[in-house]
Amino acid sequence: MALIKLNTRSIPDDAVTPAKVSVKHLGRRNLLINGAMQIWQRGTSFTTSNTYTADRWLTDAAGACTRSTDTPAPFDYSIKLNPSSGNAVLRQAIELSAAGEGGIFQSGQQFTLSFWLKSSAGGEGINVFIASSTTVAGSTTQMVSAIGIATTTTGWVKYTYTFTQSVAVGSSDTCYNIVPYVVAPSGDIYITGLQFETGSVATDFEHRSYVEELASCSRYYQNSFIEGNTPGASTATGDAIHVLSWSDGNAQGIPFQVPMRTSPTMIFRPQASNTAGLVNSSGTDRSATATNVGTKQVGYIGVTSGTANTYVRFTWEANAEI
């Protein structure tokens, strides 16, 4: 059989069509971060309302929320929601480049949301809410308002929803909120594999590496804890950083692991302690403040009555969520 050598010029322009390209090999389709529930920097079990759980995902209602290994193939983790009352809600804010700058979020643009969902009961409404806003839970400009797309079943099903954006984002809006939810479930809800992409087709989920997702999540939240240890609960010595204090008792600052979205809210705790607002200065817990905080570092740690020229040890959390 004769071999034909192809080069770019010999391929007709109309020969390569979307149908001939395997979409699963095309990257950067998913506008959501941590859609496969890989990253859980804040812990893996929660009970309070309005809480970030898996990285970038906020839940509304109080009740049990945990990481689960009950998944459809090929996912490793799902999020399990069992609200004590109300809806089982997930929220993620997609950051806009600046207030009012929609980027690809323009009127006339078509988008498709897809996700896998399973319920311990069937027949519960699965809804979608999408809006641009100034915060993750706001709704300055509604794009999709409480559309029912399906009802739950007791097995894993991939759900999709396509819509065309009909209005521009608001002039003060800084994020585009994607909110799938199940209406007043009677039991457990499991969700994973969330993808939001341009166009009318729900393509195969775009799997990203753990390290890539962790870096993306860390723009919005990061901490000093050993991966798998829960801030506010772990007392492992390896969770803490040790820095030097100055002659005035204050201590040197800390660089962030990746630049953050904005200057973050900081939480300090002494090494091996879960009391917030303190650091350990030469063996004594002292009040502490994050001073001159930017997007790439904490300038320095203000320590009340800190001991001069010694060690200061503490854990930290940095929160720059939208």
In this structure, how many other beta carbons lie within 10 angstroms of the beta carbon of residue 60?
19
309 touching another protein, by CB under 8 A: no
**Is there a contact between 167 and 143 (Cβ–Cβ < 8 Å)?**
yes
Binding mask 83-122 for another protein (x = CB under 8 A): ----------------------------------------
CA distance linking residue 223 with residue 299, whole number of Å = 16
Sorted by sequence, the CB contacts under 8 Å of residue 43 that are 6+ apart come out as 230, 231, 233
Could you give the 3-state DSSP secondary structure of residue 10?
helix
Could you give the 3-state DSSP secondary structure of residue 65?
strand
Binding-site member from 31, 290, 303, 312 for another protein (CB under 8 A):
290
Bridge partners (DSSP) of residue 159 are: 115
Binding-site member from 162, 230, 291, 297 for another protein (CB under 8 A):
291
Binding-site member from 183, 215, 267, 272 for another protein (CB under 8 A):
267
Binding-site member from 186, 265, 284, 310 for another protein (CB under 8 A):
265
Write out the two tokens for 104. Answer: 């690809």
266 touching another protein, by CB under 8 A: yes
279 touching another protein, by CB under 8 A: no
Segment 231 to 260, residues that bind another protein, using CB under 8 A: 232, 248, 250
Looking at the Cβ atoms of 63 and 193, the one nearer to another protein is: 63
Each residue of 202-223: b (16+ CB within 10 Å) or e?
Answer: bbebbbbeeeebbbbbbbbbbb
Looking at the Cβ atoms of 240 and 322, the one nearer to another protein is: 322
Please provide the DSSP assignment of 231-254 as one string. Answer: TTT---GGG-EEEEB-TTS-EEEE
Binding mask 136-175 for another protein (x = CB under 8 A): xxx-----------------------------------x-
Looking at the Cβ atoms of 48 and 309, the one nearer to another protein is: 48
Category of 283 on φ-ψ map: left (φ > 0), alpha (ψ -120 to 50) or beta: left
319 touching another protein, by CB under 8 A: yes
268 touching another protein, by CB under 8 A: yes
Can you give the binding site for another protein, defined by CB under 8 A?
48, 50, 58, 134-138, 174, 232, 248, 250, 261-268, 276-278, 288-293, 299-300, 302, 319-322
